[in-house]
């Protein structure tokens, strides 16, 4: 009944988070989305942005995906249900409230092919022993991307974790202040020998970066 009524008016659940501020799960027109105060975290425009990015990457040879920033798990839904990806996924998420909402509201829970790690992604990548065919970086606090995402230590760690032929998919909100940061990414890619592609204005507001390790 609630799902039917959502076609007339939205239902919103608000949850406090020490990391992200107030989070909102809204049921509207039969669909749930997860938002922070000023940004979509999952199942809205963000899902469409990352779907576009994933379509640029051949997944056939990828046997292990690393997701930095779980959100509500819409990337996992896209991989599993739309792109038929059936191999291992490791998701690293700092915010325990987000992990709880992903489970309660969207059915995203750990299982045989999904590991959810409650940790700081920047610290975790420095010591992770695994190798990955695809690393998806979707780290933000509300609508702000931490500057560490563009830092040299982070990209050194990602390069170490990538298998040969593997790719990093980075969601970067497009804004004038990010122009210098994007140039920094080009410099990192050159130093690490990564092949870089940048897609501008995806869903009008987002910039996607795909970095491939030859």
Beta bridge partners of 171: 208
State pLDDT tens for residues 115-149.
999 999 999 999 999 999 999 999 987 777 888 99
The per-residue pLDDT for 178 is: 60
Domain map (residue ranges) of the chain:
42-212
Q: In this model, does residue 20 exceed pLDDT 80?
A: yes
Edge to edge, the sheet with strand 88-93 lists 114-118, 88-93, 64-68, 132-137, 162-173, 206-212, 195-202
Task: Name the pTM for this structure.
Answer: 0.91
Buried b (16+ CB within 10 A) or exposed e, 180-196: ebbebbeebbeebebeb
Query: Cα(118)–Cα(121) distance, rounded to whole angstroms?
Result: 9
Q: In this model, does residue 5 exceed pLDDT 60?
A: no
CATH class of 42-212: alpha beta
- Closest to 53 measured CA to CA, from 144, 158, 165, 172: 172
Q: 18 Cβ partners below 8 Å, 6+ apart?
A: 95, 97
The band of 48, judged by pLDDT with boundaries at 50, 70 and 90, is: confident
Bridge-based pairing of strands 11-15 and 23-28 is: antiparallel
């Amino acid at each position: 009944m609630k799902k039917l009524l959502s076609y007339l008016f939205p239902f919103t659940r608000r949850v406090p988070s020490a990391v992200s501020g107030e989070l909102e799960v809204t049921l509207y027109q039969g669909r749930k989305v997860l938002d922070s105060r000023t940004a979509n975290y999952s199942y809205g425009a963000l899902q469409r942005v990352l779907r576009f990015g994933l379509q640029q990457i051949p997944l056939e040879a990828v046997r292990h995906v690393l997701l930095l920033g779980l959100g509500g798990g819409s990337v996992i839904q896209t991989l599993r249900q739309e792109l038929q990806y059936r191999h291992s996924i490791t998701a690293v998420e700092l915010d325990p409230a987000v992990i709880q909402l992903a489970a309660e509201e969207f059915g995203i829970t750990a299982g045989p092919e999904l590991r959810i790690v409650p940790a700081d992604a920047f610290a975790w990548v420095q010591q992770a022993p695994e190798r990955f065919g695809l690393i998806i970086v979707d780290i933000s606090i509300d609508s702000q991307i931490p500057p560490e995402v563009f830092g040299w230590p982070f990209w050194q760690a990602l390069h170490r974790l990538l298998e040969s032929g593997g790719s990093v998919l980075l969601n970067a909100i497009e804004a004038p202040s990010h122009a210098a940061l994007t140039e920094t990414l080009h410099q990192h890619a050159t130093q690490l020998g990564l092949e870089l592609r940048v897609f501008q204005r995806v869903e009008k507001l987002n910039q996607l970066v795909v970095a491939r390790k030859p």
